[in-house]
Amino acid sequence: MKSFEVSFTKTVSESDIYTFAGITGDFSPNHVDETFMRRTPYGRRIAHGALLVGYMSAASTRAIERGLAAIPGATPVSLGYDRIRFLKPVFVGDTITATYTVTAIDESRARSEASISVHNQDAVLVAVAVHVMKWVR
């Protein structure tokens, strides 16, 4: 298997966090209450972890758009994300880069696996996951 890697970069905006909160119903003060968060060790609001998973999904979509064809002629669908870890907080205004690296292709099971690492603008690793994709013939 030849190496395949793509990245997705996005600055996390105020509207990203509020829109995501509205869509999911997750209005935890960690995400939407600046006054509350000033009194915590974080000092300000943090992005939803699930929002970061959305950015990971964008990286997988970019991989497909850039030519990832683990099983030629098959349609890729996500089976899920394993071993997701949120290692450091992501704040409004941070620019994150999700890097998607294909690590295995199992043609007999029609699956591919990729490691995903998410770094902020200071090259700090903030999240990781493994993505499993099914390739439907």
pLDDT tens by residue, 7-33: 999 999 999 999 999 999 999 999 999
pTM for this entry:
0.93
pLDDT at 106: 94
- What does each C-alpha distance from 49 to 18, 86, 119, 127 come to in angstroms? 14, 7, 13, 9
Q: Are 130 and 83 in contact (CB under 8 A)?
A: yes
Q: Which among 47, 34, 50 is positioned nearest to 120, based on CA atoms?
A: 47
Q: Which residue type does 96 have?
A: I
H-only helix segments in 1-137: 14-24, 29-32, 34-38, 49-65
- Nearest-angstrom CA–CA distance, 23 and 80: 20
User: Domain spanning 4-136: which CATH class is it, in words?
Assistant: alpha beta
Composition of the chain by helix, strand, coil, percent to 5? 25, 40, 35
pLDDT at 6: 97
The parts of the chain modelled with pLDDT lower than 50 are none
pLDDT at 3: 74
pLDDT at 70: 82
Residues forming beta bridges with residue 134, ordered by sequence position: 77, 111
